[in-house]
């Protein structure tokens, strides 16, 4: 008797970790090995690791091998870059797989939080509010484009929102107290 095979997963993150929760129905390939391929933002090639079925697979900069090249002695965990991650979970045989794009925004969100905190008491916030609204619109647009597999537009919108955050962070004449 064969059972339905449906590979599925959910992705969560924080600044240091990418968590991939297996939600798959592995059917008659449940005893076979599985792998995960992750392409980080700005990278051309994927990083391949074994994938633990029916568990949450937690990846950090050390496990993804992005801390340093060559011999580097003691290694500390680094924040994972924000941007679009391509994640593919592959069963065995490899004709069973699911590919998913995930927009990681943890560091971006923290920078936006700091802008709110630094400007909450400002007297004239109209320009800031307009900029923050435009940034939110760009982020919602990036997420929408990602859901419809328009990866390039999603990436461009996220990059524009990141540039706006940097402009606000570096602004000396912004609406400060």
pLDDT tens digits, residue range 37-86? 999 999 999 999 999 999 999 999 999 988 865 566 667 789 999 999 99
What does the pLDDT read at residue 125? 87
Domain tally for the chain? 2
Look at residues 49, 72, 104 and tell me which one is the last residue of a structural domain.
104
How many Å apart are CA 38 and CA 35, to the nearest integer? Answer: 10
Look at residues 83, 104, 125 and tell me which one is the last residue of a structural domain.
104
Look at residues 82, 104, 126 and tell me which one is the last residue of a structural domain.
104
What does the pLDDT read at residue 69? 55
Residue 156 lies in a domain: yes
The SS3 assignment for 165 reads helix
pTM of the predicted model as reported, rounded to 2 decimal places = 0.90
Residue 2 lies in a domain: no
What does the pLDDT read at residue 177? 46
Instruction: Give me the sign of the Cα torsion angle 131, 133, 136, 141.
Output: negative
Q: Does one domain contain both 18 and 79?
A: yes
Note whether 80 and 17 are within 8 A (CB): yes
Residue 1 lies in a domain: no
Q: What distance, in Å, lies between the first and last C-alpha atoms of the chain?
A: 70
Q: Does one domain contain both 122 and 99?
A: no
User: In this structure, what CATH number is given to the domain that contains residue 95?
Assistant: 2.60.40
Residue 71 lies in a domain: yes
Q: For the segment 93-125, what is each residue's pLDDT rounded down to a tens digit?
A: 999 999 999 999 999 999 999 999 998 888 888
Q: Does one domain contain both 113 and 100?
A: no
**Burial class of residue 126 (count of CB atoms within 10 Å of its CB; 0-12, 13-18, 19+):** exposed
Residue whose token pair is 């992750």: 38
What does the pLDDT read at residue 86? 98
Q: Does one domain contain both 85 and 112?
A: no
Q: Is pLDDT at 141 greater than 60 in this prediction?
A: yes
Residue 4 lies in a domain: no
Structural domain of 161:
106-169
């Amino acid at each position: 008797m064969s059972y339905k095979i449906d590979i599925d997963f959910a992705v969560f993150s924080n600044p240091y970790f990418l968590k991939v929760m297996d939600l798959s129905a592995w059917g008659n390939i449940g005893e076979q090995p599985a792998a995960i391929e992750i392409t980080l933002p700005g990278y051309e090639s994927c990083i391949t690791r074994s994938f633990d079925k029916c568990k949450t697979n937690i990846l950090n900069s050390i496990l993804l091998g992005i801390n340093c090249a060559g011999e580097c002695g003691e290694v500390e965990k680094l924040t994972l870059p924000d941007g679009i991650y391509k994640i593919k979970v592959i069963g065995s045989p490899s004709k069973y797989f699911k590919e998913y794009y995930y927009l990681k925004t943890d560091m971006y969100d923290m920078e936006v939080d700091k802008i709110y905190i630094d400007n909450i008491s400002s007297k004239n916030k109209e320009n800031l509010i307009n900029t923050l609204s435009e940034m939110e619109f760009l982020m919602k647009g990036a997420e929408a484009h990602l859901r419809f597999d328009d990866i390039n537009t999603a990436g461009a919108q996220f990059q524009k929102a990141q540039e706006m955050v940097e402009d606000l962070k570096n602004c000396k004449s912004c609406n400060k107290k």
